[in-house]
Amino acid sequence: MVQRLLRLPSVKAETGASRSTIYLRIQQGLWPKPVKLGPRSVAWPASEVAALNAARIAGMADTEIRALVAKLETARKSATNLSI
């Protein structure tokens, strides 16, 4: 399964949120942590960004979004345990 990764400028364009808002939401548990691509480079899976946008559009409460973020991060960790 091919997973597209979005760098920060693309995430900002997809969400309409600023850099500081994205990182604030990470601290609040309302946004998943980025994937490290290198020592100074990070990105987010496009599917996670789309899921969070859909949750915001659907009007989910912050508690529901925190649960979604936890679910997305758990799924990400279990996906890395797959043998290639």
Domain assignments of the chain as residue spans, ordered by start: 5-80
Q: Please tell me the distance from the alpha carbon of residue 84 to that of residue 78, in angstroms, as a whole number.
A: 13
Per the structure block, which two tokens stand in for 5? 């990764």
Per the structure block, which two tokens stand in for 30? 């309302």
pLDDT band for 3, please (50, 70, 90 cuts): confident
Percent of the chain with pLDDT strictly greater than 70: 92
Task: Express each pLDDT in 21-51 by its tens digit.
Answer: 999 999 999 999 999 999 999 999 999 999 9
* CATH class belonging to 5-80: mainly alpha
Contacts 24+ apart (CB under 8 A), 54-57: none
- pTM for the full model? 0.88
